[in-house]
Chain A
Amino acid sequence: MEIVYYFDNDLNLCPVKKYIEDYLPITSGRNLAIITNIDEKIRHIQENPCKPAGFISKLHGYNSIEIKHRKDKDIVIRILYFIHGRKIVLLNAFEKPDNYKKRIEKELDKYYLLADIYIEKFKKTPNFYEEYK
């Protein structure tokens, strides 16, 4: 399986790549730990694409799958992806607080809806991606 970043032509960027870039340049061990942990989780999915794990969730009512990584005591990083043929397509990433209210829940739903839009866009233009190295 090949891992790729979804490229959004309207935004002119890869949302997941943009999110990970926020941890660069690496100025602390904490940032390096976050990046390496996310990287290893993605690589684990590459090696075991159909195997369920505690850090992966299939989303109810949405077409993307999420990778979870606890950033802080109360914040979890969510990376949304989907599998298209032989590609694992990284769609979007965001941070979700553990204890959130209804208003925030609606805002978070937007990320999942957006990921579904990205899936449809990718299916129409499957060459719009960048390699994950």
Chain B
Amino acid sequence: MKNINKNIRTASDPIAEARKNKNFLLYSKTARVTVRLAAEVYEKRKQREWTQIRLAKEIGTTQKVVSNIEGADVEIGIGLLKRLVDGLTLTTDDLGSIFESGTVLLNFNSTAATKNWSKDSVVSGYANKSANSIK
């Protein structure tokens, strides 16, 4: 306790209390991805000097949805995520930092580039690796 005021007598930290809930980690991970995606979308849109309306047009949605994504107020579906990836040209690095699981993607990306693999062979390589790891 860094607080040096002896008069302070308040309850324990509410976040620490919430952390005791068995589902906290699950919800926290989801929130982290939502917040990171929000920050990434905002940054990429600003880099392009696009308005939210312009981005909405590019990815076939409404300004309200873009606002909710950037506000980290909504969990988006895979279809919209795909359109965001295409519309903002998000890289595997970007996705890796959002999902904290880019290692496999990045490994395959660099391997594919080195060996000049086609997209299909990368996908089949990933499937084989996954199958092997299951065994």
Indicate the member of B1, B30, B35 with the most A CB atoms within 10 Å: B35
Interface size on A, residues (CB 8 A): 39
User: Does chain B have a CB within 8 A of A33?
Assistant: yes
Interface digits, A88-128 against B, CB 8 Å rule (1 contact, 0 not)?
A: 00000000000000000000000000000000000000011
Give the B interface residue count (CB, 8 A). Answer: 40
Task: Say whether, besides A36-B24, A68-B71, A9 and B14 are in contact (CB < 8 Å).
Answer: no
Is A1 among interface residues, defined by CB-CB distance under 8 A?
A: no
Which residues of chain B from 57 to 81 have a CB within 8 Å of any chain A CB?
67-73
Within 8 A of B (CB), among A15-65: 17, 20-21, 23-26, 29, 32-33, 35-37, 39-41, 44, 48, 51-55
CA distance A40 to B71 in the complex (A): 12
- By the criterion CB–CB under 8 Å, are A52 and B3 in contact? no
The A/B interface has a contact count, at CB < 8 Å, of 122
Cα(A54)–Cα(B10), bound, Å: 33
Whether the Cβ atoms of B10 and A130 lie closer than 8 Å is yes
> By DSSP majority rule, is chain B's interface helix, strand, loop, or mixed?
helix
B8 CB–A CB distance under 8 Å: yes
**Is A32 a contact partner of B10 (Cβ separation < 8 A)?**
no
> In the complex, A69→B69 CA distance in Å?
11
Do the beta carbons of A24 and B42 come within 8 Å of each other? no
Binding site for B on A (CB under 8 A): 4, 7, 9, 12-14, 17, 20-21, 23-26, 29, 32-33, 35-37, 39-41, 44, 48, 51-55, 68-70, 127-133
